[in-house]
A and B are shown apart, each in its own frame.
Chain A
Amino acid sequence: MNEISLMAEEHYQRLQQRNADDVKVLWDLLDAVKDPEVPALSIWDLGILRDIQCNGDQIVIIITPTYSGCPAMDNIRTDVIQCLNDNGYADVTVNMSLSPAWSSEWMSPEGRTKLRQYGIAPPEDAELDADGLTPDAHAACPHCGSRNTHRVSEFGSTACKALFQCDDCGEPFDYFKKI
């Protein structure tokens, strides 16, 4: 299957920011920090990592939650500090930023591919309903690619996902909701 990945404007802006940053090495190091709920994705892939500020030896990392009650945030905070400490950066603070609110558009194209390989359909693998929400059918199955699928539940194993089942291969799968 040929995949033509169009980059969302939001992601393009993030990429520009990352590449232009003086501390690109820190961005690269933090690629090692994964979302504990979706370990296939780094916090960069998910768009949770928003900014890195350096003031001498002081490093401030800005992260944003996907959903208000995302229980992974506390773990991610600890993992970020651990990761940078292990690499010789002692003075690390992690701040949470709420605005602008996280959008699934911020996910990187690599992240979307990794999600599929992990068995989760990314947001663009379903056509949204008229309200812009998860449809009740036809999200592409990440296992066999079939569109012959139906929604089992609007809310899945974590706040960011809905649950689908494939009517061809029979496998249930998570769909990463668009917000």
Chain B
Amino acid sequence: MSDQMKNALLEYTTRLGDDAVVLGHRISEWVSYGPFLEEDIAYGNVALDYIGRARMFYTYAAELADDGRDEDDFAYMRNDREYHNLLLLELPKGDFAYSQVRQLFADVYYTLMLPQLLQSKDERLAAIAAKAIKETKYHLRRSRDWVLRLGEGTDESHRRAQKALDQLWGYTHELFDMDETEQLLADADIGVDVSKLRDDWLAMVTEIVTNATLSVPEDSWAVRGGRIGYHTENLGHMLTEMQIVHRSHPGCKW
């Protein structure tokens, strides 16, 4: 493998780890704040799936980097500008409707993206995808059911779900952006060409949103930059909280 390809693979694997840990952490913020006990537990479970995914991606990234870092260094010792996650995933948890709409966007995305990653010529990425696919089926059913329930629920839940859709829509465009790194890997059948997922994603989201008596927002604005480390102010706050124990007690073990 050429150095260029190896660097691209490291960057790609790190990005996927960043996506997983950031969303996993955001979901975990619901623990003890869920609307009822079972939902609280459900959120804890989903968060755990994402954090597990992050560990698998980061462990692989650390092996590729081969510079003495481990998975924890990737998660806890990088600053916001070094995180290359999708912006959608770093936004604060907001209210319950906001988190569920974000989750629906992410779950539909992974429902389409992971089967492609499963075809990767890179065995590790394919193996991680194989595990994640099974979990995502359960995630999607839950977020889909919640969006239907919120949309068709009370005036208040409908209003909040629609507001969440409107506020989050502009962050979804970035999900389908390709850059040089990802194109290089997609051409080599290692990475996923996410630009090809957009139509199917839109169709699936539209069907669910429409069934929930909500409307799909128009494409009037788009925010981008996560993949090159330009973030909303929220990520810095999140990482501060997520990383403080590790950074305050370097090398500490239970």
Chain A residues engaging chain B, CB cutoff 8 angstroms: 65, 67-71, 98-102, 131-134, 152-159, 163, 177, 179
Contacts and interface: CB of A to CB of B under 8 A. Distances in A.
B48 interface: yes
B138 interface: yes
A67 B51 CA distance: 11
B114 to A, nearest CB: 11
Contact of B135 (A67, A99, A152, A153): A67
Interface in B168-196: none
B38 A179 contact: no
Interface residues of B, number: 31
A95 to B, nearest CB: 12
A98 B53 contact: no
Contacts of A159: 45, 48-49, 135
Interface string B1-32: 00000000000000000000000100000000
Given A153-B42, A154-B142, A71 B137 contact: no
B131 A155 contact: no
Nearest to B37: A153
Contact of B141 (A70, A153, A154): A154
B56 interface: yes
Contact of A133 (B39, B50, B52, B137): B137
Nearest to A178: B134
Contacts of B55: 68-69
B56 A98 contact: yes
A101 B52 contact: no
A142 B135 CA distance: 25
13 contacts: A65-B131, A67-B49, A69-B48, A69-B50, A69-B55, A98-B128, A99-B123, A99-B130, A101-B131, A131-B137, A155-B45, A157-B41, A179-B134
Nearest to B128: A98
B113 interface: no
A106 to B, nearest CB: 13
Interface in B88-118: none
